[in-house]
Structure 1
Amino acid sequence: MKKRIVLLTLALTAILSLTSCGGNSGNASPAEKPAASAGSETPKPADEAPKSAEAEKEVPETSVIRWNYGTSGNVLVTIAEEKGYFEEEGLTIEFVSATANADAMALLATGKTDVVSNSGTSNPLQQIASGVDLTVFGGHMVDGSMPVVAKKGTKWNGVEDLIGKKFACNPSYFAFTGAVMDLGYEDPLSAVEWVVYTNYNDALAAVVRDEVDYALQGTGQNYAVKNMDEVDIVAYQGDVMPNYSCCRLVTQTSFIEENPITVKHLMKALIRAQQYYEANKEEAITLQAENIGTSEEYVAAYMLNDNYVVNPDPLKNPVIRAWDILDKTGFLSEKAKNIDIRDHINTELYKAALDEVIAEHGDEDPEFYKDLLAFYEENNS
C-alpha cells in the first residue's frame, strides 16, 4: 500500500540555562528569657511567638513566568488571571507568541519562554528524545475535542474503519497509531494510508473533494465543521484513546530545578482555576472568547463538548504510554533508547500543590477535590 507520509523535523538548538533570583530569610536568634515576676505568666521566647500568615508564606524564586499557550489560548490561565489566583500566588504571566507548535518548542529549547502548554504531547516527547532536557510537570487539555470528519452520511464503527483507508492525519498522533496496534496490527503505518497536509483546512478540503476518506481536525475547527453540510463528525480523538494526554505543560528541566516554589504556586493557581471552570463553564466561555478575540459560539462549539477535558494533572501514565507508542512507530530519535522518560516527568510539585489547595480551599468544593485526587492516583501511580 502506498504511504504518503511527510515527517516534519525540528532543528534543535543548544539549551541556554535559565537563571532566576530568589532568597531565603533566616530566623533571628531567640531573645533572652526575662525573669518571671510574681503572678505573671512566663513569656514565650521570640522564636516561639506566633508567626503571621504573611511570614509563613513561601516566596516564589521568580515572580514572572513567560508562557506560550498558542492562538487557541488556555482557559485555565485565563481564569487564573481573571480571578486573581496568579496574583494571590505572587505570580505574573507574560505571554510569549509563537505561530506554530514547532516555533513554540524552539522558543522553549532556546530559553526564550519558560512554559509551553498547547503544543501537544508528541512534540515535547520528540524534543526530549532528541536530547533537549525538558520536563513535563503538568497539563492543559487531557482530551482536546479534536474531531474526525468524513463525507456526510458516513457510518463509524470504530478505529477499525480506518484500516485500508486514506486518513488525513499525521501518524505521529499516537492515539490513532496506538489504537490501530491495539487491534493487532504490528505496523500501523502500513495498515492505514496516512496522508499529511500542512494545515487542517487543507485536510478538510480533501475530504470534501473525496481525496481522503477521513480527516482529523483541530480543537478550533469544531465550529466550522459543525456548520458544514458536506461533512459529519464521526468520532473524536478521545473516543479512540481516552485520556490520551493531548497538551502537556512543559519547561526546561533547569527551570524546575531552580524554581520549585514558583512551579508549585503556578500549579496551585491552575488547580483552583479548574475548580472554577468546572463550576462556571458558561462564564468560562465568555472569558475565553474575550481572551482570544473570537465569538462565544466559536468557543462553545468545543468547550461544551464532552470530549473537551482540561486538567493540570501531569498524567504520568498516559505520557509514558505515548512515549512507548511513538518509539514503536519510529517517531523518536535513536537516542530515546538511552532515555528513561520517567526522568522527564515531575509529579511531585503538582501533588504538593494539590495537597496545599485542598488544605486551604477543599471545603469550598469537597466533591471536586475528591475526584481530582482520585484522577491523580489513577493516572500517576
Structure 2
Amino acid sequence: MKKKLLAAVGMVVLVILLVFGTYNYYTVTQDTIVVGYLPSNHDSALFVADALGMYQKEGLKVQLVPFRAGSEITDAANQNRIDVGYCGITPVTSAIDQNSTVKIVAAVNQEGSGIVVSENNNITNVSQFVDKKFLVPKEGGIQDVLFRYLLMNNNISSSSINITELETPLMQNALAAGKVDGYIAWEPYVSQADFIGNDDVFMYSKDIWPNHPCCVVITTNKFMKQKPDQLRKFLKIHVEATDYVNTHRNETAAILSKKLGTNINVEHEALKHVEFIAIPTPEFDAKIIKLIDVQKELGYVKNNLTLEQVLDLNFLPT
C-alpha cells in the first residue's frame, strides 16, 4: 500500500509539472538554450547534465521545458519556441517528411519501451491482442510505430485492435481501473507496472526489435546557424552526460527518481532496459533508414528520406 501511495503522489506531481510547466519558455531570456523534453528515463543524460551543473560549468544557460509528446516538441521547434529537443525519432522523421528544417544532431538511446498487459486477461501471445483496447502515448510516436510493427510482423491488422492515445504517466491507472487491456510506454512506466500493482510486462521493445533507434537530440535550423558554438558545447555535454549515465547507474537512478517523482527501485530496474548512446553508429544509421521504411508502410511517411536529410552530426565532438 505504501508503494502504491508513493507512486500515486509521484504521478500527481508529474502531471502538475506537465500541465503547468510546458509554457516556461515564455519567461526565459534570449541567451538561454530552451530544451524540450519528455518525462522519460530516455532523457537521463539531459537530467544528469542539469542536476550536476554541467551546463553552468560550460557557461551555458539552459531551461528545460516538459512536453507531453514528441510531436509537440517538433512543432515547438518548427515555430522556434525551443532551440533543442529530446524526443522519439519517428515524430522527427515525420516532420522532416513534411518539409520541417529540424535536424537530428545526436542520438540519445536505443530500446527502452515495453508493453504492459492486465494480469486479469491472461494474455500470453500477440494474437490475443485482437479485439482488445491498448493505449499508446501518441499516434505516430515511436511506441505507436513499434506496437504496429509488432502487429504487422504477426499478421495482425491494427484495425482489429482499439488503439487509443493517453499521456504515459496516466496509463497504469487506466489499466488498473479496467478501462483498457494494455499499453505500450517508455520507461520507467513499463518497469513500474511490475513493481507496483498487479499488471505484467508482456514484452520489452528489445523483443520487438533489438537495438532499435528510439530518442534523439534535435535542433532548429535557426539555432544551428545563429549559435553553432553553443550547440557544440551543448552536445559535448550530452556526450559526457551519456558516459556518466552508463558508468554511474546508482547516481543516475537517484537523479531520475527525484526528477520524475518515481520510486528509486523502479528506476534501478528501468535503467536495465534502456541502451544509452550519444554518437550514432553505422548500425544506428542503418536502422534509421529501416525505421523510415516501416513508417512508410504504416502511412506515417510518404517520401524516401536520406540520412543527409535527417542527420547533421557536424556539431558532435570528434
1:313 is aligned to 2:313: no
Distance 1:202 1:288 in 2: 18
1:151 maps to a residue whose letter is: E
Distance 1:321 1:263 in 2: 28
The answer to which structure has the higher strand fraction is 2
1:337 is aligned to 2:306: no
- CA change 1:222–1:154 in 2 (3 A) is same
Of 99, 106, 116, the residue aligned with 1:148 is: 116
For normalisation by structure 1, the TM-score amounts to 0.62
Deviation track 1:290-325 (CA, whole Å, cap 9, x = no partner) reads 33454423433422xx31222223443332222211
Provide the residue aligned with 1:283 in structure 2: 251
**Contact 1:64-1:92 within 8 A present in 2 as well:** yes
Provide the residue aligned with 1:105 in structure 2: 74
**Contact 1:76-1:274 within 8 A present in 2 as well:** yes
Distance 1:226 1:129 in 2: 38
2:223 maps to a residue whose letter is: F
Deviation track 1:138-180 (CA, whole Å, cap 9, x = no partner) reads 13232224343242583645xx546645351446322233344
1:195 maps to a residue whose letter is: I
Provide the residue aligned with 1:38 in structure 2: none
Distance 1:269 1:123 in 2: 24
- Of 306-315 and 244-253, deviating more is 306-315
Higher radius of gyration, 1 or 2: 1
- CA change 1:273–1:63 in 2 (3 A) is farther
1:107 CA displacement:
1.8
2:76 maps to a residue whose letter is: L
- Of 311-320 and 204-213, deviating more is 204-213
The answer to which structure has the higher helix fraction is 2
How many corresponding residue pairs?
Answer: 280
3-state SS, counterpart of residue 242 of structure 1: coil
1:278 CA displacement:
1.8
**Contact 2:212-2:287 within 8 A present in 1 as well:** yes
- CA change 1:235–1:223 in 2 (3 A) is closer
Q: What are the ranges of 5 or more consecutive residues in structure 1 without an aligned counterpart?
A: 1-61, 356-381
1:322 is aligned to 2:291: yes
3-state SS, counterpart of residue 217 of structure 1: strand
Of 141, 147, 151, the residue aligned with 1:176 is: 147
For normalisation by structure 2, the TM-score amounts to 0.73
3-state SS, counterpart of residue 176 of structure 1: helix
Deviation track 1:80-126 (CA, whole Å, cap 9, x = no partner) reads 23444434444332223434444333221110111110x32222222
Of 297, 321, 338, the residue aligned with 2:265 is: 297
Percentage of matched positions with identical amino acids: 17
Provide the residue aligned with 1:349 in structure 2: 315
Of 86, 91, 98, the residue aligned with 1:130 is: 98
Q: Which has the higher contact order (CA 8 A, sep 6+)?
A: 2
Q: What are the ranges of 5 or more consecutive residues in structure 2 without an aligned counterpart?
A: 1-29
Of 270, 274, 279, the residue aligned with 2:238 is: 270
2:203 maps to a residue whose letter is: A
**Contact 1:197-1:203 within 8 A present in 2 as well:** no
- CA change 1:179–1:310 in 2 (3 A) is same
**Contact 1:302-1:308 within 8 A present in 2 as well:** yes
1:346 maps to a residue whose letter is: D
Of 172, 189, 201, the residue aligned with 1:233 is: 201
Of 23, 41, 46, the residue aligned with 1:77 is: 46
- CA change 1:320–1:258 in 2 (3 A) is farther
1:94 is aligned to 2:63: yes
1:249 CA displacement:
1.0
Distance 1:289 1:205 in 2: 19
2:207 maps to a residue whose letter is: D
- CA change 1:258–1:348 in 2 (3 A) is same
1:342 maps to a residue whose letter is: E
Distance 2:287 2:123 in 1: 29
